[in-house]
């Protein structure tokens, strides 16, 4: 077929294929689950939110993210995700007076 690019082909070494044949069913399932999580499906839709944050806190947060080479919005999402999964401290936020 003229003008149609060929499909990419992935080659595996004999050692790799031998290792794959030795994998237990649990190892295969772990690999497949990891692959699914890494490459699985579509990204969930994102939603734009508005959040009031004291300017000095935002400046310090952005500065630290810059020093660590992380985008600050990505870090905010990571912190939110960790917290919802229980990885962060479960301190209750202070309620506003009123």
Q: Where are the domains of the chain?
A: 55-84
Other C-beta atoms closer than 10 Å to the C-beta of 61 total 15
Rounded to whole angstroms, the Cα distance separating 39 from 1 reads: 30
Rounded to whole angstroms, the Cα distance separating 86 from 7 reads: 43
Rounded to whole angstroms, the Cα distance separating 94 from 98 reads: 12
% of the chain surpassing 70 pLDDT = 82
CA 50 to chain centre: 23
pLDDT at residue number 92: 59
- Residue pLDDT, tens place only, 27-61: 999 888 888 888 776 777 889 999 999 999 999 99
For the residues 76-88, what does the mean pLDDT come to?
A: 85
Q: Flag whether the pTM goes above 0.75.
A: no
CB 52 within 8 Å of CB 58: no
Q: What are phi and psi of 53, to 5 degrees?
A: -135, 135
Rounded to whole angstroms, the Cα distance separating 86 from 95 reads: 21
């Amino acid at each position: 077929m003229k003008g149609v690019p060929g499909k990419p082909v992935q080659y595996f070494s004999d050692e790799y294929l031998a290792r794959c044949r030795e994998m237990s069913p649990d190892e295969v399932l772990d690999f497949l689950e990891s692959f699914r999580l890494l490459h699985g499906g579509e990204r969930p839709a994102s939603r734009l939110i508005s959040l009031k944050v004291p300017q000095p806190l935002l400046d310090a947060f952005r500065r630290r993210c810059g020093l660590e080479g992380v985008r600050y919005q990505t870090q905010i999402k990571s912190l939110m995700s960790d917290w919802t999964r229980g990885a962060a401290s479960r301190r209750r936020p202070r309620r506003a007076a009123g």
